[in-house]
Amino acid sequence: MVSRRTFLAGSGAVTAGGFGLLPAVAPAAQAATSSTSGSPARLLPAFERPKHLHYGDVSKLSGGDQTLLTTLQGVVNRTRPELYFSFDTGTMSTPDAKWLADMHLPTTTYQNPLDLVAKYRHRVRGAIVHDPAVPDSLNVATTLAGLEDAVVADAEQAKAHGLRIVKDLRGMFDDDRVKTYRWQLDHLFPRVTHKLLAGLPPTRVVAVENVQWKEIARETRQIRDSSNRGSFDLDVSSALGKDAVFVRFADSFTDDGWGASISEVTVKANGTQIAHFLPGTPEEAPYLFDGVNSSIGGEGNRFSDGGGYFIYRFEPPAGTTSLVVTVTMWNQYVVAATDTSPTRIEPFAYFRDYVVATKALVSWLPPAGATGELLIEHFAKYPTLAPYMGWFANDVSGEWDGVDLASQGGSPVIAADFYMNGTVHAGFTAPISAKVRPVRRISKPKNKVYLTLTFGEGDNIQYCQRHLRDLWDDPKRGEVPTNWTISPLLLETGPGLFSHYQRTATANDLLVCGPSGAGYTYPGSWKPDQLTQYLKLTGSTLRRTGMDQVYSYSSRADDQWVLLSEEIASGYAKYTPLKGIMQTWDGDTLITRRGGLPIVGIWNAPGKGAEYKAALDARIASWDGSHPLFIAGLINAWSWTPSDMATLAPLLGDPYELVLANTFFDLLDRTL
């Protein structure tokens, strides 16, 4: 999950324009709160406010060099944030550069960011050398770097930068991931912080520049019902010439979520079968070159939607002149082939500054099988409410299973694996209002369709940092009543980010809490006593951020989302200031009251503009117009923009009335 003016700062509470502002973040070396001050307790470790930043553009560096710098950043910024990097480009139009400019701090720019290693070498004890042959050793090295005040490097980097080797992990582990992370849990858990647990992939897939793809097949119709399912012979002979052929399956319509789906693959070289497999089976593994952006469906099919894709690599015998890939395939596919390796594997550098600075334990355990069992052990060792920060393996299925395991273990999830410069953003204080947005009250509901539209993904702090900033800067924002989900935990992980969105919101922008409160979670999976603690935390963060609506998940059963129970809804009503809940929902229109709160099922539709409007019309086809109808629509944050909203709004004439969520729930509460 990726891409998201003048700040006030001080040492105490500030008041401006009737808005109650939060106190500055406490220094890392002292207690975050006082038991007698009345201030709310911190969930996460605190950082000093930065005074001067040394800045460099690291976007063109290798993943290894980025990892060296982000782990250096973690050690240095633990005392007081001093290092800040741009991971996009060096221009001022990118999120990293925009946030840096917004902080209005003195900055020194380094044309070669690696010069900072020499500048700060005296601040680190040396290097933890990871084993390039064992990717997961990079995570163990990161955990050790935090504990030993060291950086993570390979042997060549350590030598090149004159770094003493504090610990050499080469040869210490093999490719048994469970054994590697079992060693880490057994030996390092007593020394790490117990305030959070991190999950980061040890490597990333990086696109190779100037790869020439040849399109082999494309579905030009918007097919979403599998009606074009069939067996297709894909002749990729034109990509022969080197050692291997790479075949990529992607989505021919990237904005509606019905991309290429396949269930069987057979490959023949000069008429002789050289491969046959079903997705998700061990037989597929030798050929799946890049599947990180794809998922396995309910019938054993591999699929990828939107901007995602998956790539197979086939190595035909020498002298092959004909290579045909036969696939059972359906929906909106586009298939291309090349003879050049399109990606390379590098260390995953992101968010490691925060992990090192907080002395957190970081692992990468897919939430199924033996690795899932070990992940459960991790959650059991941490106190209730200790967040899981980062993300999970295996894309969508990994998300559902991972968040469910975290929920069962009493840990809210903070999607943060692409959260850059987290140590700086956590330390930079900014004013945040606790004042709730006044409701535009409609005195008497009319026999209309009251529609409220909400951008999702706001629980994801990296989205709040990166892609949301891009959306927010769209000049059309503010023309249409729009709800924006956002994480209340930015109070601690990025108060400057939250402050910016709050202070620059127009009358048509409403910030609402992302799923399902203070951290992404499934409330139905929590133990009741632990859920109470989570709801109390949610209530505290919502009251401090002025939000009183939430987009919530519940739990899943038989691949369907379950209605929030009376007990859970009552907990929200008792411990939080919520006026209503938008709940993710699969079925027909859901409008109900539970625990005294109005609950509406959130609905979405593929496409944009006219297609979204057509889906709305179909949704209300059975409505007779004799009473108000309420619909909460979800907007795909990865494919829609405020400009798209401005295109949709003029289409929503009678009987629709587009309102913000606070007005929506005020009306619904009086109608139920």
Q: Could you write out the DSSP letters of every residue in 218-271?
A: E--S---SSTT-EEEEEE-GGG-SSS-EEEEEEESSTTTT-B-EEEEEEEEETT
Q: Which of 422, 288, 307 is nearest to 360 (CA)?
A: 422
Looking at residue 32, the DSSP 8-state letter turns out to be S
Structure token digits, residue 160: 């090149």
Burial of 593 (0-12, 13-18, 19+ CB in 10 A): middle
Rounded (5°) CA angle 332-333-334: 135
Q: Which of 426, 485, 499, 416 is nearest to 457 (CA)?
A: 485
What does the CA dihedral 194, 198, 202, 204 come to, rounded to 10 degrees?
-160
Q: Coil, strand or helix: which one is 207?
A: strand
Q: Which of 415, 575, 591, 436 is nearest to 511 (CA)?
A: 436
- Rounded mean pLDDT for each run of 10 residues along the chain, 672 residues in total: 25 26 30 38 95 96 98 98 88 84 97 98 98 98 98 98 98 97 98 98 91 96 95 97 96 90 98 97 95 88 92 97 98 97 95 98 96 98 98 83 97 97 98 96 94 97 97 98 98 98 98 97 97 98 98 88 96 98 90 97 92 95 96 95 97 97 97 92
Looking at residue 664, the DSSP 8-state letter turns out to be H
pTM of the model: 0.88
What is the pLDDT, as a whole number, of residue 197?
98
Q: Are strands 449-455 and 482-486 parallel, antiparallel or unpaired?
A: parallel
Domains of the chain are: 44-203+347-427 (no CATH), 214-341 (2.60.40), 449-671 (3.20.20.490)
What is the pLDDT, as a whole number, of residue 398?
87
Structure token digits, residue 446: 């009319």
Beta strands (DSSP E) in 516-659 are 549-552, 556-557, 560-561, 580-584, 591-594, 597-603, 629-635, 656-658
Burial of 443 (0-12, 13-18, 19+ CB in 10 A): exposed
| Residues in contact with 182: Cβ distance below 8 Å, sequence separation at least 6, in sequence order | 374
What does the CA dihedral 313, 318, 323, 325 come to, rounded to 10 degrees?
-30
Say if residues 589 and 563 touch (Cβ distance below 8 Å). Answer: no
What is the pLDDT, as a whole number, of residue 589?
86
| Residues in contact with 346: Cβ distance below 8 Å, sequence separation at least 6, in sequence order | 62, 63, 64, 203, 204, 206
What is the pLDDT, as a whole number, of residue 14?
25
